[in-house]
Amino acid sequence: MDAPILVTGLRKTYGSRAAVDGIDLRIERGEVFALLGPNGAGKTTTVEILEGFRRRDGGSVNVLGEDPERAGLGWRNRLGIVLQSSTGLDLITPREALASTAKVYRTPRDVDEVLAAVGLVDKADDRIGKLSGGQRRRLDVGLGIVGTPELLFLDEPTTGFDPQARRDFWELIGSLADGGTTILLTTHYLDEAEHLADRVGVIAMGRMLALDTPANLGGRASLEATVTWEDDAGTRHTERTSTPTRLVAALSARVGGEVPKLTVTRPSLEDTYLALIAPHAVGEPVGADPVAEVVA
């Protein structure tokens, strides 16, 4: 199928609680899609179903042309998955971890290239147990991309990254997308979603609340802007308007030039996101142990 991910009416329940309640989603080839939502919203359950790690209770799911519940090793060879954390690697080195993982893929990337891409060249031969949290997170990303995946799942990928490492990672994701890799990203960093994603989806209580480009999410592009300025007496003024350019031009004409301490702000992606989820506050996720539900 043309769309690497196509979901219709996806449902997953635990007892009387619907963790995922009728989600529809289509992600196009080469698209970077960010799935946003508070803890317990259904993000992780949805992604685990798409990855083939959790069974659904209803709806249809097509990932790279196959149903994840029945797909085999050939299908998994086309995926890259970056989990929230990895364990059991403390006694080996990043180079060894990447080299051994690369062997299970048909068309792996060069290990040295991956080490450079995730900023671990200087730590390539250190024991993983001695790496910092941020360095281990970089290794997680490296393990996810070493197989040259067609579809890459990234679960909170930059947790623990310093600002420069995050920027470097963003460049890496951009290059992967430019090369045709489809990427599904979950993140709590709204600036990350705005920078990386072609589209974002916001879910809460297992339902998709909004789905659009970051600029247009929730009608953001058409929301009123807030214009603030000072008059000659130093008094601060604030006005909300849907035509900020017209207001600024009028203010400039009134003062005969630059408007003192002028600012124009529109609702940020974070503002829009918080407004969307406010009526749907949820607690921690309720569900079975994912290991117990791994699809054979």
Three-state secondary-structure class, residue 39: coil
pLDDT, mean of residues 84-99: 88
Smallest Cα–Cα separation from 210: which of 18, 30, 25, 70? Answer: 25
Question: Token pair for residue 36?
Answer: 């946003």
pLDDT the model gives residue 294 = 46
Query: Which has more pLDDT, 156 or 212?
Result: 212
Question: Token pair for residue 87?
Answer: 């364990």
Q: Report, at the CATH architecture level, how domain 5-78+150-218+271-293 is classified.
A: 3-Layer(aba) Sandwich (3.40)
Tell me the pTM.
0.81
Supply the mean pLDDT for the chain: 88
> In this predicted model, what pLDDT tens digit does every residue of 48-89 receive, in sequence order?
999 999 999 999 999 999 999 999 999 999 999 987 767 788
pLDDT, mean of residues 91-113: 95
- pLDDT at residue 132 above 90? no
Q: Pairing mode, if any, of strands 151-155 and 225-230?
A: unpaired
Cα–Cα distance for residue pair 83/140, rounded to 1 Å: 7
Query: Which has more pLDDT, 6 or 189?
Result: 6
